């Protein structure tokens, strides 16, 4: 078994197709494809585009034989293996709509995972569902109360007979797939992405964002049920006839150095990660590891999916300097499932461009006032990263709460319009109307500001903490906490809630392994003092055991769920205290 080669032998076409089927038909004439690596970093499966076309068409005829209506939803538990690719593209040929379901779940949260699957299957109206052997038990539980035509493993679908009916692939105006947003666990929202939308975004990414050439090779550990994993590392390499190499998210979490090993041995040129991935990698690396890798071929290291702090990236680049990693390979980007994937990219060969702004003016008025130097004699500052130029097919507006357009360097709601914007949330007109105007403008739910054609993202609007009329960005509280010894990067969640008197209370939940009561009291005291000194607020510190903080399906911390969990703990504590008080009375 050999990996697919670097060069497809075809003239490069950067997603210049009307549909995903057209893209696969063209790529299948070449030599490239997908390569899957196991938990030890060894090649386990190879799926060339040529084989994918053959297998997807065969499977499509079997799915058609189930008697499904055109546009029927086929749910796929998206583990990182060829099953996902086969079923996703079988749907494209059969005229069905694939829906990627999360394959990850936290230890001890199996019941919640089954409930999440059930909600997603129900809201998308799935007719068919497939899962790998590792997840079939969860899927079977999830479909017990649902009326599906068929649910099973890939092997069970392979036993079906092929229909004699002619295949009618999805058209340019049809929905290409449904993408659940990463935070959509309790109230799932399935984003409708049309063939036109995803192809427009793929063209923008390949031509303007990454400037893809025939010499590129992609490497990823990102989950295939997340927009960055699906669009950037399944659909983009196909659309540009590139080979892609995969590790599973589980493998990356346990052995992040395998990501670097794969990039090094296969001469990968493009790979992406949220900031926490780079931070985890840097933490697990030893200086003696540097000689094991040659990362000189890695020309684009995208950073996105959450607000970017430059310090973990600097640490990553420092640790891997001897492995020839170029810090200018970092490319800050901004995107979301509602726009297929990408909205903006920083210029290539520039690296991370951070800026410091006056914290007081930002918090009180939303004004962006640059600060050149921060020391004891100057104002305190917030650090933001330039996410680059908005892709050319988008119109960008920064709007105030009254809907008016705001000038440069003024924070407001980030709104977008363009061919990559979703058609809506599937069978959810209320949510669609809330986010998408009648003339096609998408309210992203993010806060940010523009500098000419470039965009800077500051926060999710729903996460902004408001205290006495001041806007405080939770990322800044969290990042400040992470500067203390004993607080690990990515293990902090800050939010606010209104108490019984209507007063805003700020809370920070911090995962800690500390068991010594005296050291726990010291850490809480230091964190509280740090928040008061830097932000002038009283912050309640809630220390919790490791793995307590909830994460979205893509691995990001979920502030909304962390808040729910905290309030549940608080209610339980208050109830217990009342019982004790009553008993003592």
Q: What gap in Å lies between CA 552 and CA 568, rounded to an integer?
A: 19
Q: How far is CA 172 from CA 18, 169, 193, 420, in A?
A: 6, 10, 11, 13
Q: Is the pLDDT of residue 469 over 60?
A: no
| 357, 364 contact by CB (below 8 A) | no
Task: Give the mean model confidence (pLDDT) for residues 304-327.
Answer: 87
Band (pLDDT 50/70/90 cuts) for residue 184 is: very low
Both 22 and 120 in one domain: the answer is yes
* Residue appearing with tokens 């394959």: 103
Percent of the chain with pLDDT over 70: 92
Chosen domain end from 423, 443, 462: 462
| 282, 319 contact by CB (below 8 A) | yes
Both 432 and 502 in one domain: the answer is no
H helix intervals, 267-365: 275-284, 310-319, 359-365
Q: Is the pLDDT of residue 118 over 60?
A: yes
Structural tokens at position 122: 């129900």
Q: What gap in Å lies between CA 296 and CA 310, rounded to an integer?
A: 21
The CATH number of residue 115's host domain is: 3.40.50.12780
Structural tokens at position 359: 């914290």
Both 236 and 301 in one domain: the answer is no
The total domain count for the chain is 3
Q: What gap in Å lies between CA 22 and CA 312, rounded to an integer?
A: 41
Q: H-helix or E-strand containing 277?
A: helix 275-284
Both 448 and 511 in one domain: the answer is no
Task: Give the mean model confidence (pLDDT) for residues 364-392.
Answer: 80
Whole-number pLDDT of residue 445: 87
Q: Is the pLDDT of residue 376 over 50?
A: no
Whole-number pLDDT of residue 310: 87
Band (pLDDT 50/70/90 cuts) for residue 106 is: low
Q: How far is CA 401 from CA 105, 435, 466, in A?
A: 37, 14, 15
Whole-number pLDDT of residue 549: 87
Both 285 and 321 in one domain: the answer is yes
| Burial of 6: CB neighbours in 10 Å, binned 0-12, 13-18, 19+ | middle
Q: What gap in Å lies between CA 76 and CA 71, rounded to an integer?
A: 15
At 235 the three-state DSSP class reads helix
At 226 the three-state DSSP class reads coil
Band (pLDDT 50/70/90 cuts) for residue 487 is: confident
Q: What angle do CA 298, 304, 305 make, to 5 degrees?
A: 140
Is pLDDT larger for residue 468 or for residue 388? Answer: 388
Both 554 and 442 in one domain: the answer is no
At 50 the three-state DSSP class reads helix
* 504 half-sphere exposure, CB direction, 13 A CA radius: 13
Whole-number pLDDT of residue 186: 52
Q: How far is CA 181 from CA 184, 187, 225, 226, in A?
A: 5, 10, 9, 8
Q: Is the pLDDT of residue 583 over 60?
A: no
Beta strands in 4-159 (DSSP E): 33-37, 43-48, 73-77, 97-101, 126-130, 150-152
| DSSP conformational letter for 421 | S
CA end-to-end span of the chain, whole Å? 75
Q: Is the pLDDT of residue 205 over 60?
A: yes
The CATH number of residue 472's host domain is: 3.30.300.30
Residues in CB range of 137: below 8 A, 6 or more apart:
none
Q: pLDDT, tens digit, for every residue of 249-303?
A: 999 988 999 999 999 999 999 999 988 889 888 888 877 777 789 999 999 999 9
Task: Give the mean model confidence (pLDDT) for residues 134-147.
Answer: 93
At residue 389, φ and ψ (nearest 5 deg) are -80, 135
Both 212 and 349 in one domain: the answer is no
Residue 171, number of CB atoms within 10 A of its CB: 13
Displacement of CA 234 from its chain's centroid (Å):
14
Strand partners, 399: 405, 413
At 561 the three-state DSSP class reads helix
Q: What gap in Å lies between CA 531 and CA 478, rounded to an integer?
A: 10
| 271, 293 contact by CB (below 8 A) | no
Residues in CB range of 570: below 8 A, 6 or more apart:
none
Chosen domain end from 249, 272, 304: 249
Closest listed residue to residue 200, CA positions, set 444, 362, 388, 416: 416
Both 566 and 485 in one domain: the answer is yes
Closest listed residue to residue 35, CA positions, set 15, 13, 76, 6: 6
Which one of 39-48, 316-325, 460-469, 514-523 scores highest in mean pLDDT? 39-48
Both 489 and 403 in one domain: the answer is no
Closest listed residue to residue 558, CA positions, set 109, 193, 208: 109
Q: What gap in Å lies between CA 528 and CA 156, rounded to an integer?
A: 56
Closest listed residue to residue 86, CA positions, set 51, 128, 114: 51
Displacement of CA 259 from its chain's centroid (Å):
18
Chosen domain end from 234, 249, 264: 249
At 502 the three-state DSSP class reads coil
At 206 the three-state DSSP class reads helix
Q: What gap in Å lies between CA 539 and CA 507, rounded to an integer?
A: 5
Total-model pTM: 0.83
Both 387 and 408 in one domain: the answer is yes
Q: Give the residue numbers spanning the domain of 454.
A: 256-462
| 194, 423 contact by CB (below 8 A) | yes
Is pLDDT larger for residue 253 or for residue 107? Answer: 253
Mean pLDDT of the chain: 89
* 510 half-sphere exposure, CB direction, 13 A CA radius: 30
Both 376 and 478 in one domain: the answer is no
Q: What gap in Å lies between CA 183 and CA 560, rounded to an integer?
A: 9
Q: pLDDT, tens digit, for every residue of 41-57?
A: 999 999 999 999 999 99
Structural tokens at position 385: 């990263």
Q: What angle do CA 58, 62, 68 make, to 5 degrees?
A: 135
Displacement of CA 186 from its chain's centroid (Å):
17
| Burial of 292: CB neighbours in 10 Å, binned 0-12, 13-18, 19+ | middle
Closest listed residue to residue 553, CA positions, set 254, 105, 233: 105
Whole-number pLDDT of residue 116: 86
Both 341 and 422 in one domain: the answer is yes
């Amino acid at each position: 078994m050999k990996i697919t080669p670097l060069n497809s032998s075809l003239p490069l076409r950067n997603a210049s197709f009307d549909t995903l089927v057209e893209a696969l038909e063209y790529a299948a004439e070449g030599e490239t494809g997908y390569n899957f690596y196991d938990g030890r970093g060894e090649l386990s499966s190879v799926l060339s585009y040529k084989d994918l076309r053959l297998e997807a068409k065969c499977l499509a005829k079997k799915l058609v034989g189930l008697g499904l209506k055109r546009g029927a939803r086929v749910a796929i538990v998206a583990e990182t293996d060829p099953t996902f690719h086969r079923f996703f593209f079988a749907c494209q040929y059969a005229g069905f709509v694939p829906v990627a379901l999360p394959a990850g779940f936290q230890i001890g949260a199996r019941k919640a995972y089954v409930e999440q699957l059930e909600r997603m299957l129900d809201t998308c109206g799935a007719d068919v569902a497939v899962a790998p052997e590792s997840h079939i038990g969860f899927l079977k539980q999830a479909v017990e109360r649902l009326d599906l035509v068929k649910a099973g493993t890939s092997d069970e679908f392979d036993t079906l007979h092929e229909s004699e009916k002619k295949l009618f692939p999805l058209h340019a105006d049809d929905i290409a797939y449904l993408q659940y947003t990463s935070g959509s666990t309790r109230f799932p929202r399935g984003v409708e992405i049309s063939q036109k939308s995803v192809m427009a975004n793929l063209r923008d990414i390949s031509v303007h964002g990454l400037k893809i050439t025939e010499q590129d090779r992609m490497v990823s550990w990102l989950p295939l049920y997340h927009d960055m994993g699906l669009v950037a590392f399944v659909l983009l390499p196909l659309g540009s006839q590139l080979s892609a190499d995969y590790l599973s998210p589980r493998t990356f979490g346990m052995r992040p150095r395998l990501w670097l090993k794969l990039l090094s041995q296969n001469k990968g040129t493009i790979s992406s990660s949220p900031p926490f991935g780079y931070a985890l990698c840097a933490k697990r690396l030893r200086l003696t590891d540097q000689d094991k890798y040659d990362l000189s071929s890695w020309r684009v290291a995208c950073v996105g999916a959450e607000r970017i702090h430059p310090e973990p990236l600097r640490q990553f680049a420092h640790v891997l300097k001897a492995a020839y990693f170029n810090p200018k390979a970092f490319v800050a980007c901004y995107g979301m499932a509602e726009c297929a994937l990408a909205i903006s990219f920083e210029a290539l060969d520039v690296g991370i461009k951070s800026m410091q702004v006056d914290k007081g003016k930002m918090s009180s008025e939303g004004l962006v006032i640059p600060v050149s130097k921060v020391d004891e004699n100057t104002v305190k500052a917030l650090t933001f990263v330039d996410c680059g130029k908005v892709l050319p097919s988008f119109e960008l507006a920064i709007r105030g709460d009254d809907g008016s357009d705001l000038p440069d360097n003024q924070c407001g709601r980030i709104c977008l319009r363009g061919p990559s914007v979703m058609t809506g949330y599937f069978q959810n007109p209320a949510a669609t109307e809330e986010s998408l105007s009648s003339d096609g403008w998408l309210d992203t739910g993010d806060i940010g500001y523009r500098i000419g054609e470039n965009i800077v993202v500051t926060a999710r609007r729903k996460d902004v903490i408001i205290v006495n009329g001041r806007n405080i960005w939770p990322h800044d509280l969290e990042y400040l906490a992470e500067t203390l010894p004993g607080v690990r990067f990515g293990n902090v969640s800050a939010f606010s809630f209104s108490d019984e008197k209507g007063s805003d209370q700020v809370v920070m939940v911090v995962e800690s392994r500390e068991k010594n009561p005296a050291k726990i009291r010291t850490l809480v005291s230091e964190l509280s003092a740090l928040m008061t000194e830097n932000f002038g607020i009283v912050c309640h510190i809630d220390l919790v055991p490791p793995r307590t903080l909830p994460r979205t399906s893509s691995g990001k911390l979920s502030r909304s769920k962390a808040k729910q969990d905290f309030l549940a703990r608080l209610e339980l504590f208050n109830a217990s205290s009342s019982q004790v008080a009553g008993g003592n009375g």
